């Protein structure tokens, strides 16, 4: 169960790896927002005992 959550998290991290590359077409604010998102993904399972407690962070490019 939790391994499935980690697999999803790892896929989301991999999909956003490009945002941290030095030549990524992002400004410093956008790069920082993506870095925060990626840290939130890494922390998503902290203190969680089941999948119903997972609160996925919103991608920076999908926030209002």
| pLDDT, position 37 | 96
| pLDDT, position 47 | 84
d(CA 40, CA 32): 12
Q: How far apart are the first and last CA of the chain?
A: 31
The tens digit of pLDDT for each residue in 6-60 reads 999 999 999 999 999 999 899 999 999 999 999 999 999 888 887 888 999 999 9
pLDDT of residue 64 exceeding 90? no
Phi/psi of residue 60, each to 5°? Answer: -60, -30
Q: What is this structure's pTM?
A: 0.85
């Amino acid at each position: 169960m939790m391994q499935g959550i980690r697999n999803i998290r790892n896929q989301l991290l991999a999909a956003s790896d490009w945002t941290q590359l030095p030549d990524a077409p992002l400004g410093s604010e956008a790069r920082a927002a993506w870095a925060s998102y990626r840290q939130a993904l890494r922390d998503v399972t902290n203190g969680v005992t089941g999948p119903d407690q997972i609160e996925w962070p919103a991608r920076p490019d999908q926030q209002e």
